[in-house]
Structure 1
Amino acid sequence: MSLSFAVGDLTVHRVIENEGPLFDPLTFFPTLDKTVLEESRSWMQPRFLDPATGQLVLCIQSYIVRTRHHTILIDSCVGNHKERTNYPFWNQMTSDRYERNLAAHGLGFGDIDFVMCTHLHVDHVGWNTKLENGRWVPTFPKAKYVFADRELAFWTEREKTDPGKQPWITDSVLPIVSAKRHEVVRSDHELSDVVRLIPTPGHTIDHYSVRIGKPGADAIIGGDMIHSPLQARYPELPMRADYDRTQGGVSRRTLFEQICDTSTLFCSGHFPSPSTGRFTRWGDGFRFECTQA
């Protein structure tokens, strides 16, 4: 399995922080019927559902897109030295795996021009900052960090009204704002003729996905608009942390209808390796067919 692949003239790298069984599916998807889960085991196991633990297998990763002019990192995972007591498996990590996997693609922190955060959840902003002399400073020294306007406003206000309850905002987002390293855009922003944002709200208030390439040779990097192929088979299936469950289902069904049975590659934020593929129809839903990119 390759961690690098081409999309037209672009090169895409996957940088994995960790991968493995993490959450009970009936907890992760609170409306999931047990019968539906049992019926799905035949195609979910062992890649997407771990037979030993019964937990969903998820990947925590970044995508890096290299264009002629820019090197763009999309979603910055969990990060090191972060206080994440609600998630013991992510609490106070000190691994060098992320940096080593970045280096395996010939890249260092200083090579990134843009950091795009599809949304501002704990496992998508962590490497935005690093701990340096007791302070949180931008990890990527020359990068502009791209935040959707309503997303940043929502989380900033939530931290003001309920301080300390969103530690990932205080240690991984607000230091970027204080350092004036952020760029606030609409969730349909176009960075260039080969990189533009697509609004895919629902999981959060202003979640965006990233479309790269040109028609006939393009891909969509989907962030958390979908967490498991179960949500392709059943697009209206919500995840427990969704801001607007109904809107999340609309975003999935709308996008999958558009790219189903086309050449557009979909790069999922959390599917286990290989996490890229295409959608075909499957009854009233869709089937995610992995590609060996």
Structure 2
Amino acid sequence: MNKDNDTQTIVLGDVEIIRVVEWQGPFVPGRDLVPGADTRVWKDNEDLLAPDHWDPDHDLAVLALQTWVVRSAGRTVLVDTGVGSGRERPGSPHFHHRQGDLLADLARAGVRPEDVDTVVNTHLHADHVGWNTIDADGAWVPAFPNARYLLPAADDHHFGPGNTTGKGLGEDDRLVYEDSIAPVHRAGQAVLWEGTHRIDEHLTLEAAPGHTPGSAVLRLESRGERAVFVGDLLHSPVQILHPSCSSCFCLDPDGAATTRRRVLERAADQHELLIPAHFAGPGALEVRRRGTDFGLGPWAAHRTSEDDDRDV
């Protein structure tokens, strides 16, 4: 997949949002990613989807793997941490033994591991927690030594040893917990939360179940400007146009659809910038009501590192 090393920044009120892209490119057929949306749905919306979100020549959804750095109230917050490097993920060919370096990408954005105050995992799937930890002489340890890791309690129970039945778990899920979550607990850096959790005066986590039992959204409000980081409630703009369609990765597709519609309604009504985990292209956009449905509004305008160079 294609790497995008350029640092992109959005400023909302007193909060700076920095987008760090690990990779982006064609992933899987659109109809496989969003089973409720067949190829006709993608073709009917080709003008909105291609080329940033769909490769029509090969019928492949285009996704990004990215971390969002949020500088708020003197804190440096990471929203999701990608796949990690050198992980055992035998059930996930795209992630198995993948080699990457998010820490180097963060360094290019001016973020050192010791600078990070808070890590938000919107949920505990493999591609959202992988850089929670690093390999230190054969042992997994937290990658961000000074950070509190905010973990949804319901996901920690589901994916961790609290799920004594093992229902809904695969081997990859167990491996993810062992190398990316359990070490954070052992280091005393894990904070389990449920319902809502306020990080600071601008940032609040809210439960948004369906994709996983503990899926969360992170809401931002500063000086009248708003955004919502929605994790995997959305994998493609197709799901804005057809919010009843959940991804193939949703553990509770009906619950995810209910949550998705609620979040989209609020985003449209309160003019929240919608920031999904995996949208390629500009990565974030506004949502508009279209009767009882939704449409795509303007995409986010980023300030890039090249812009900063031109200002010097």
Same fold, judged at TM 0.5 (above):
yes
Alignment equivalent of 1:31, drawn from 27, 31, 36? 36
User: What is the deviation of 1:282?
Assistant: 3.2
1:270 partnered with 2:278: yes
Find the counterpart in structure 1 of residue 257 from structure 2: 249
Matched, 1:72 2:77: yes
Q: Distance in 2 between matches of 1:266 and 1:31?
A: 22
Query: Of residues 131, 136, 145 in structure 2, which corresponds to 1:132?
Result: 136
2:52 equivalent in structure 1: 47
Contact between 2:39 and 2:59, CA under 8 Å: does it hold in 1? no
What secondary structure sits across from 2:48 in the alignment? helix
- Of 240, 246, 251, 2:248 maps to 240
CA RMSD in angstroms comes to: 1.9
Is the aligned partner of 1:144 residue 2:152? no
Contact 1:242 1:248 in 2 (8 A): yes
Aligned equivalents of 2:170, 2:283: Cα separation in 1: 36
Listed as ranges, the matches of 1:191-230 within 5 Å are 191-214=199-222, 216-230=224-238
> How many angstroms does 1:74 deviate by?
0.7
Specify the SS of the correspondent of 2:68: strand
Question: Structure 2: which amino acid aligns with 1:110?
Answer: E
Say yes or no: does 1:122 pair with 2:131.
Answer: no
Change in 2 beyond 3 A, CA 1:284/1:36: farther
Q: Partner amino acid for 2:279?
A: F
**Cα pair 1:61 1:270 within 8 Å, conserved:** yes
**Is the contact between residue 207 and residue 216 of structure 2 (CA under 8 Å) also seen in structure 1?**
yes
Distance in 1 of aligned mates of 2:240 and 2:110: 34
Structure 1 residues 68 and 44: alpha-carbon distance in aligned structure 2, compared to 1, 3 A threshold: same
Structure 1 consecutive aligned stretches of length 4 or more whose deviation exceeds 4 Å: 162-165
| Of 274, 282, 300, the match for 1:291 | 300
- Partners of 2:18 and 2:286 in 1: how far apart? 18
* Matching residue of 1:83: 88
State the percentage of identical aligned residues: 29
- Offset of 1:78 from its aligned partner? 0.3
1:249 to partner: Cα distance: 1.0
Q: Distance in 2 between matches of 1:236 and 1:229?
A: 12
Q: How many residues align?
A: 292
How many angstroms does 1:34 deviate by?
A: 3.5
Q: Deviations over 1:75-113 (max 9, x none)?
A: 0000111112222232212233x2232112211111101
Q: Distance in 2 between matches of 1:2 and 1:127?
A: 19
> Which amino acid is 1:144 matched to?
R
Write the deviation string for residues 129-157 of structure 1: whole angstroms up to 9, x where unpaired. Answer: 11111111111111111011111111113
For 1:14, give the aligned amino acid.
Answer: R
Distance 1:151 1:272, change over 3 A: same
Change beyond 3 A, Cα 1:205–1:27: same
**Matched-pair contact (CA < 8 Å) for 2:7–2:20:** no
* Distance in structure 1 (CA, Å) of the matches to 2:172 and 2:126: 12
Tell me if 1:109 matches 2:118: no
Whether the aligned pair in 1 keeps the contact of 2:73 and 2:200 (CA below 8 Å) is no
- Number of the residue aligned with 2:190: 182
**Any stretches of 5+ residues in structure 1 without a counterpart?**
none
Inter-partner Cα distance in structure 2 for 1:227 and 1:292: 20
2:254 & 2:8 partners in 1: Cα distance? 34
- Counterparts of 1:23 and 1:9, CA distance in 2: 38
